[in-house]
Amino acid sequence: MAASMVDSGEDAFRKIFKFYRRRNPPPDLTGVTDFSGGEPGDRVVPAELDLAAVSDVEASRVGLKPVREWRAFGLQGYPGFIFISNPFLRGCQAFWVRQCLKTYPQKPNICNLDMHMNPSETQDIWGQSAPTLRSRKPKTLLEKLRWVTLGYHYNWDSKTYSSSSHTPFPSDLHSLSSRVSAACGFPGFQSEAAILNFYRPDSCLGIHVDESELDHTRPLLSFSFGQSAIFLLGGRRRQDPPTAMYMHSGDVMVMSGQSRLLYHAVPCILPAAAGRSALEAEGPPVSQEDWTVCRRYIQTSRVNVTVRQVLEPGQSLPETRACSPQGTAAAAADRDTQV
């Protein structure tokens, strides 16, 4: 169901979201844009990168290929949108999967499980989950993880950030983000907040706009790992019908300029297509013990990391009173299901 098949109107985005969300009968995916083909088409155009912005050594330090080898594309009608088809070196996605599952959910970072569990119970999600995942016995805390926030922690109730809710941003994730943003024409990007979304086979992400950041001149970066997904990119209004595209493991999206504040959503998760089992076959730069857990998890799941710069230089955030855990959990759940 291409966007052109639906007239603009009040329910245009919602109709397409439900089309790709349905299970019986399954949706026709022939109209979904697949950037992994590597060739520009009617709507897919080459994207210009700054080849001198990131050296080969700098790229390799965060697991990326030389920028000249990246396959980067734009989409006609979406200025500022850049899609990079898996720029990671062979084996290096595994490191980022391990960070998302083992390192980033650790305290003092915040996750959905904190909303209804004691801090002591969520202190070591990986440690409590790894033995069970290795033995294939569900269901672990790791499999109940839905989101983690880093840096400035997003308030799901007020849809704002606060100076009183902040922890140090991971330096390795900032290094990855700053290199991608520099290659895309945004040097000096400051990684100040991130949301990790963990998708099970039946998960989705409702229609929304990421507008809580105070600086919209800086891009929104998105990194995908694990199972594939359908991503819908719309317009500035809910009435604008969206374009559907695949996001495969390793793919990177950059939303900047006029595309920074567009409505978007993820209606469904798809099993990785044949030939997309690189994560399974690679010799990962992590221990075999850790990789056994990661591999078991991503066989059925997807992890997405969105990184944002919250503030313009010289700006500061107000302090706000922390919201109730119950309210935060409800607001976060609403974002996952609202269409």
Q: Rounded to an integer, what is the distance from CA 32 to the centroid of its chain? A: 19
Would you state the pLDDT for residue 324? 45
Nearest to 170 by CA among 70, 95, 84, 278: 95
- Top-level class of domain 12-274+289-308: mainly beta
Whether the pLDDT of residue 285 is over 80: the answer is no
Band (275; pLDDT cuts 50, 70, 90): low
Q: Which amino acid is at 19?
A: F
Positive or negative: CA dihedral 1, 248, 98, 107: negative
83-126: pLDDT as tens digits = 999 999 998 999 999 999 999 999 999 999 998 898 888 888 99
Whether the pLDDT of residue 309 is over 60: the answer is yes
Contact, 230 vs 246, CB < 8 A?
yes
Please name the helix (run of DSSP H) or strand (run of DSSP E) that holds residue 149, with its range, or none: strand 147-151
Q: Known binding site for Fe cation: residues?
A: 208, 210, 264
Whole-model pTM: value is 0.90
Would you state the pLDDT for residue 57? 98
3-class SS of residue 96: helix
Helices and strands in the chain: count of H runs, count of E runs: 9, 13
Residue spans per domain, the chain: 12-274+289-308
d(CA 109, CA 166): 9
Q: Rounded to an integer, what is the distance from CA 95 to the centroid of its chain? A: 16
Whether the pLDDT of residue 333 is over 80: the answer is no
Band (326; pLDDT cuts 50, 70, 90): very low
Whether the pLDDT of residue 298 is over 80: the answer is yes
Please name the helix (run of DSSP H) or strand (run of DSSP E) that holds residue 44, with its range, or none: strand 44-46
Would you state the pLDDT for residue 334? 46
Q: Known binding site: residues?
A: 208, 210, 264
d(CA 175, CA 287): 22
122-131: pLDDT as tens digits = 888 998 888 8
Percent above pLDDT 90 for the chain: 64
Please name the helix (run of DSSP H) or strand (run of DSSP E) that holds residue 223, with its range, or none: strand 220-226
Would you state the pLDDT for residue 96? 96
